Amino acid sequence: MTTTSNDDYYIPEPSRWPLIGAATVFTLLFGVVLWLNSWVAGPWIMLAGAASLAFLFKGWFGDVIKENLSGSYNGQVDSSFRQGMFWFITSEVFFFLTFFGCLYYLRNITLPYLGGEGYLATSNILWEGWTYTWPPLQLPDATNYVEAKEAMGPGGIPLWNTIILLSSGGTLTWAHWALKKDDNKQLVLGLAATILLGVIFFILQAVEYGHAYAEMDLTLESGIYGSTFYLLTGFHGFHVTVGAIMLMVILGRAMKNHFSSHNHFAFEAVAWYWHFVDVVWIGLYILVYWL
Domain total for the chain?
A: 2
Give the pLDDT of residue 176: 95
| Same-domain check for residues 100 and 235 | yes
| Same-domain check for residues 162 and 106 | yes
| Same-domain check for residues 178 and 155 | yes
| Same-domain check for residues 54 and 128 | no
Flag residues of the chain having pLDDT under 50.
1-5
DSSP secondary structure string for all residues of 64-118:
HHHHHHTT---HHHHHHHHHHHHHHHHHHHHHHHHHHHHHHHIIIIIHHHHTT-S
| Same-domain check for residues 126 and 169 | yes
| Same-domain check for residues 155 and 239 | yes
* Domain end position, chosen among 27, 53, 72: 72
Domain region containing 188: 74-290
Give the pLDDT of residue 1: 44
- Best CA proximity match to 260, nearest among 190, 205, 187, 201: 187
| Same-domain check for residues 133 and 225 | yes
Give the pLDDT of residue 125: 64
CATH number, position 210: 1.20.120.80
pTM of structure: 0.85
| Same-domain check for residues 147 and 130 | yes
Structural domain contains residue 5: no
Give the pLDDT of residue 263: 81
